[in-house]
Structure 1
């Protein structure tokens, strides 16, 4: 059981930003990653469809004997994780929420921007997080419509993507945000462009490191950490273009295999 892999799924390649944080913190752990790129983005789908896709991904990871499952998708977390935890009681699930709490605690301007998908911004979990942690703070929400398809097609640094980001950021900057919360696991791949577009005083914050730490905490609590000091193995599956997924795994110091799988 200790050698069993950590399972990770996302609506495409974005969750590799989470996978990288997990691998950095837990380099001995084996992993299996599902990139459901054929159905990306989840954020524009109905809650019912998001749940069905999350169930499909979960059951495939369980077939691979994953000892813990990381839902590396904000939209899937907000719409499906409660059901997954209630239904698949033999495995722990780690979810992802926009990092609103740390942004709110550190904001000096008392104005925080949140860039996320429609599915996340409209969810009850997002609204309860804002209600519970953002009292006295102005939250500027923007739906990043169109960003995920650009990232999925390897166009994060394109002029089209930069122009779209400018249009999304301008109203936030006009209201004096000093923190920008990235509420989608695809969006960390926009950080180089965001740093070009944002003033230096605006801080960018995402959930990757916190998710990795929580994964470690749960594995320790359940006595499931891999005890073998051997090279870890990492299998990545995509139901779209394998070369796109491979491009997001360049320069990763790990034994990686990337496959096409019709799931």
Structure 2
């Protein structure tokens, strides 16, 4: 198992923010990156659709014999990952969740924001996580970041600054930084517009869970004696739709590995 890859997937570009941290945390590991653009965006799918997509995707990735799967998307992690793990007990799966505990520790104004996709924002699972992890005296405001996620997936943030600023401004509304001092980036697409966010609301601190996921992966591989000890890890990239646009975006982000388009039957 040591030489088998770590598989990382989400509905497109988002996984790259996790892979960047994984390369720092576990540089020897081979990685399989699956951008499931055929099902983009995960953020507008129903609970049942997300469950089916996640299970089918993991079953599809089994052919690559991954030693670990990282669900690099908040929407399926928050809403269906516990269910998926119960249905697939033989395969280790790590997800990415809104870093609410960290945000609650950091806030001085006792008011935090959560930026996430529409279905995550409206889910009972996120509401339950807020109840569990955020003390009652801290206010929580949720922001539907789906328009920003779609803009990042289309690569607009790389070539149209004005439109990117306009979309982000509409999502945030006015006076956010007067009330909120900490915001979670609870979509793996959002770190790619962090420079825009910092320009718009410079007094707000943004918490990106990518480093936490990378630490979880390193810890899991170490404890289970699955870590690859030497060499520089390779990155294999698969995309399920729109290869040309996807390739253009990741090249602009400095990713040089070849991209293989695969065709799903689900």
TM-score of Structure 1 vs Structure 2, range by shorter chain: over 0.9
What are the ranges of 5 or more consecutive residues in structure 1 without an aligned counterpart? none
Aligned partner of 2:73 in structure 1 is 73
| Pair 1:224-2:226 in alignment | yes
The change in CA–CA distance for 1:218 and 1:95 in structure 2 (over 3 A counts) is same
Distance 1:166 1:122 in 2: 21
Deviations 1:205-234 (A, max 9, x none): 11100000001111111111012x223221
Distance 2:181 2:201 in 1: 10
Aligned length: 259
Deviations 1:226-261 (A, max 9, x none): 12x223221111122334433336435xx8332111
1:125-136 map, 5 Å = 125-135=125-135, 136=137
Aligned partner of 1:47 in structure 2 is 47
Distance apart, 1:123 and its partner CA: 2.4
Instruction: Say if 1:242 and 1:260, in contact at 8 Å, map to a contact too.
Output: yes
Distance 2:28 2:106 in 1: 34
Distance 1:115 1:77 in 2: 15
Aligned partner of 2:211 in structure 1 is 209
1:83-162 map, 5 Å = 83-135=83-135, 136-157=137-158, 158=160, 159-162=162-165
Distance apart, 1:172 and its partner CA: 5.8
Distance 2:18 2:175 in 1: 26
Distance 1:80 1:4 in 2: 26
TM-score (norm 2): 0.92
Q: Which runs of 4+ in 1 moved over 4 A?
A: none
Distance 1:174 1:19 in 2: 30
What are the ranges of 5 or more consecutive residues in structure 2 without an aligned counterpart? none
Instruction: Say if 1:97 and 1:126, in contact at 8 Å, map to a contact too.
Output: no
Distance 1:23 1:244 in 2: 24
